[in-house]
Amino acid sequence: MKLDNNAAKALKKDFPIFKNNPSLIYLDNAATSQRPETVIKSINDFYEKENANISRGLYTLAEKATKKYEDARKTVAEFINAEKNEVIFTKNTTESINLLSYTINSLVPKEKNEILLTEMEHHSNLVPWQQLAKRQGLQLKFVKIKPDFTLDMSDLKEKLSDKTAIVAVTYVSNVLGTINPIKEIVKLAKQKGAITIIDASQAIQSLPINVKEIECDFLAFSSHKMLGPMGIGVLYGRKKLLEKLSPFNFGGGMIKKVTLDDTEWADVPYRFEVGTQNIAGTIGLAEAVRYIQKIGIENIHDWEKELLKYALNKLKKVEGIEIYNPGVNSGVSIISFNIKNVHPHDVAELLNNEGIAIRAGHHCAMPLMKKLGISGTCRASFYIYNTFEDVDALVSALKKIGERFK
Amino acid sequence: MKEKHESIPEDMYKEHILELYKNPSNYGILKTPTHKKTEYNSICGDEITIQLFVKDGVVKDAKFNGSGCVISMVSSSLLTDKIKGMKVKDIKILKGEEVLDLLKIKLNPGRVKCALLSLDAVKGALK
């Protein structure tokens, strides 16, 4: 289904939030997306009609619930072209990355003692590695960002070495909107024998992801940024590697056999899904995948490019604006900006007075803010149900704000 | 003209607030401060440094600097005006509500932390 302005406008009807908040102009999709009626219904239906715990129940309801859960895993795996058992359900991207940081030792040879990240990482793909480095005496290195807000690939090549154990990179920056060349990054990292980890939380909703094509070792994303419910995320890992990882949390559901003294772990992925999972969440996530597939991820990306082009053209005409975005060819529709003389918090407050929701602050990327020489930005992020009219409303409100602070 | 939904709050940015933001009192640094503290509001990136000159248990001079939103800067300006000439022991028991009242506007709950940042810094400096 090709998206244009009219189609995007029509999509709003699929999302109850807009019916319940008629004046809402929602431009904070990078923080969380909205949920379509079908996703909400799938969760309610599970709780109302099929609710039971999975795996070990021997009655019809439990079998139905188990099938739904495993079907959801299959749907998500197909979405990223992974094998079914290469998909681990977690709470969110942050938990996925933390899980890896606690278990990855078994995959890293002793002589490798460097971790390569970038200056544009979200705290969730920085702090876990920072703390791992502190625990194990490893060295952190950071790929620089160029003045045009793209990654400095020559700096990356320089910083990659035979000592690099892990390369962890975001696919899309949640601040700059920059799309990183992760296929190339993975290829370079593999040449040095490094493990590759991709934070896809800001890419999964609008860029096609094929893990076999990207060839990364691990990839993480969250459901709530791609129209699914909160409280569920995914860690993809190549089967051979997952089998070598020790478990992180221990308890029910991840065992084959338990005696008082010892435990035999369950197979992958169950080894990493401990205790009762967010079963309803996985069902909602699978429904979100189907909603996206109905539109087509390429169509979503094309519409985001249209919105980005339109928005950048209009925004650059706002007096006193500074935009931190690499442009239509290198970014998704996430636009960080500042208005001269106006603190981002005040911009967000005044936009809120017009029913416009943006985010303001450091966006969980304090090192990036420091690199840009600012304490924070405003951020408008667009998705499938945003329209040119939404952009117009933002631009017109920003012009008024600039006037008040002159 | 779009009809405003209940979730849209009253405009806090009254004339007196904006004027004070553009020309805050007591912005700068003291030559010989006796007390100093920097406080952060990590939610939005406000950073305020309070400097005090205390003599005989009284705040003789107070200045603030840093960067922050309208609310944090304006309340810093109003608070530093208020505490000049006040006894340290009275400042230590200043309540948050008294500082919020200085602004003379209805504050949205999300901005209370911004408004009290300077009070946190003043009390922290005097500890």
Q: How far apart are CA A131 and CA A317, in angstroms?
A: 43
CB contact under 8 A, B45 and A375: yes
Tokens representing residue A99 in the block: 């899980």
CA–CA–CA angle A235, A236, A239 (5° rounding)? 130
The answer, yes or no, to whether residue B8 has pLDDT greater than 60, is no
- Give the relative orientation of helices B112-126 and B70-83 as an angle to the nearest 10 degrees: 40
B96-102: Cβ within 8 A, 24+ apart: B99/B75, B100/B75, B102/B75, B102/B78
CB contact under 8 A, B67 and A375: yes
Instruction: Specify which residues A26 forms β-bridges with.
Output: A357
Res B4: pLDDT: 46
CB contact under 8 A, A345 and B46: yes
Number of alpha helices (DSSP H) and beta strands (DSSP E) in chain A: 15, 15
Residue pLDDT, tens place only, B51-79: 999 999 999 999 999 989 999 999 999 99
Tokens representing residue A138 in the block: 């490893």
Tokens representing residue B86 in the block: 């006040």
Q: How far apart are CA B122 and CA B112, in angstroms?
A: 16
Residue pLDDT, tens place only, A267-294: 999 999 999 999 999 999 999 999 999 9
Helix or strand (DSSP H, E) at A154 = helix A153-159
Helix or strand (DSSP H, E) at A280 = helix A279-295
Residues of chain A with pLDDT below 50 are none
In 3D space, the residue among A43, A44, A64 whose CA is nearest the CA of residue A52 turns out to be: A64
Fold adopted by A5-27+296-404:
Aspartate Aminotransferase, domain 1 (3.90.1150)
Q: What is the distance in angstroms between the Cα of A16 and the nearest Cα belonging to chain B?
A: 16
The answer, yes or no, to whether residue B6 has pLDDT greater than 70, is no
Chain B contact for A356 (CB, 8 A cutoff): no
Res B10: pLDDT: 66
Stated pTM of the model: 0.93
Chain B contact for A367 (CB, 8 A cutoff): no
Res B42: pLDDT: 79
CB contact under 8 A, A343 and B70: yes
Over pLDDT 90: what percentage of chain B? Answer: 72
User: For an interface test with B, which of A346, A347, A353, A359 has the most B Cβ atoms less than 10 Å from its Cβ?
Assistant: A346
Reduced to 3 states, what is the DSSP secondary structure of residue A8? helix
- Give the relative orientation of helices A279-295 and A297-315 as an angle to the nearest 10 degrees: 80
Three-state SS string over chain B comes to: CCCCCCCCCCCCCCHHHHHHHHCCCCECCCCCCCEEEEEEECCCCEEEEEEEEEECCEEEEEEEEEECCHHHHHHHHHHHHHHCCCEHHHHHCCCHHHHHHHHCCCCCHHHHHHHHHHHHHHHHHHC
Contacts of A345 in chain B (CB under 8 A): 44-46, 69-71, 114
Helix or strand (DSSP H, E) at A41 = helix A37-45
Contact (CB, 8 A) for B10 and B46: no
Query: Which CATH code fits A40-293?
Result: 3.40.640.10
Q: Listing from the earlier edge strand, what are the strands of the sheet with A195-199?
A: A87-90, A233-237, A218-222, A195-199, A164-170, A114-118, A139-143
Q: Going by C-beta distance under 8 Å and a sequence separation of 6 or more, which residues neighbour residue A265?
A: A246, A247, A254, A255, A256, A271
Q: List all residues of chain A from 216 to 255 with a beta carbon under 8 Å from chain B.
A: none
pLDDT band at residue B96 using 50, 70 and 90 as cut-offs:
very high
CA–CA–CA angle A269, A272, A275 (5° rounding)? 115
Q: What is the distance in angstroms between the Cα of A349 and the nearest Cα belonging to chain B?
A: 9
Amino acid at A310: Y
Contact (CB, 8 A) for A92 and A224: yes
Res B9: pLDDT: 62
Farthest-apart Cα atoms in chain B, separation:
59
Res B45: pLDDT: 78
Domain definitions of chain A by residue range: 5-27+296-404, 40-293
Contacts of A355 in chain B (CB under 8 A): 2, 4-5, 8
Q: How far apart are CA A29 and CA A379, in angstroms?
A: 10
Partner-chain residue, chosen from A361, A362, A404, that has the shortest CB–CB distance to B13: A404
CA–CA–CA angle B6, B10, B12 (5° rounding)? 155
Give the number of other CB atoms < 10 A from CB of residue A134.
Answer: 10
In 3D space, the residue among A342, A301, A325, A370 whose CA is nearest the CA of residue A144 turns out to be: A370
Regarding beta strands A139-143 and A114-118, do their DSSP bridges make them parallel or antiparallel, or are they unpaired?
A: parallel
CB contact under 8 A, A343 and B44: yes
Average pLDDT, chain B: 89
User: If you average pLDDT over residues B18-37, what whole number do you get?
Assistant: 94
Contact (CB, 8 A) for A333 and A308: yes
Contact (CB, 8 A) for A202 and A151: no
Regarding beta strands A377-381 and A359-361, do their DSSP bridges make them parallel or antiparallel, or are they unpaired?
A: antiparallel
In the set A364, A369, A374, A393, the catalytic residue is A364
Q: Going by C-beta distance under 8 Å and a sequence separation of 6 or more, which residues neighbour residue A161?
A: A114, A192
Is the four-CA dihedral A46, A47, A49, A55 of positive or negative sign?
Answer: positive
Q: Is A378 assigned a catalytic role?
A: no
Q: How far apart are CA A81 and CA A174, in angstroms?
A: 24
CB contact under 8 A, B44 and A345: yes
In 3D space, the residue among A326, A321, A311 whose CA is nearest the CA of residue A381 turns out to be: A311
Q: Going by C-beta distance under 8 Å and a sequence separation of 6 or more, which residues neighbour residue B90?
A: none
